[in-house]
Amino acid sequence: MAKSISDKIAELKEGVDWFYSDDFKLEDASERYRALTTLAKEIEQDLDNLKNDIKVIDEDFSK
């Protein structure tokens, strides 16, 4: 089952919070940053898709 946008945003927030936590390790920072960047791009794509779906639905109801 695919993660919801809300789940992905929560995961992103948790990942960003790691950078400010006591668990932060410089050795892991680059890998985590890349993973979070990928996740952020997925969220952006999901939001773009949702926006397009909303536009289609709005056009259907406008007729």
Between 34 and 60, the more confident residue is: 34
Please give the structure tokens belonging to residue 57.
């639905």
pLDDT digits (tens, 9 = 90+) for 1-45: 889 999 999 999 999 999 999 999 999 999 999 999 999 999 999
Contact 16, 43 (CB under 8 A): no
Rounded to the nearest angstrom, the gap between the alpha carbon of residue 20 and the centroid of all alpha carbons in its chain is 19
Task: Report the distance separating Cα 16 and Cα 8, nearest Å.
Answer: 12
Q: What is the pLDDT of residue 49?
A: 92
* 62 has a pLDDT exceeding 70: no
pLDDT of 63 above 70? no
- The model carries a pTM of 0.82
Q: What is the rounded average pLDDT of the residues 35-62?
A: 89
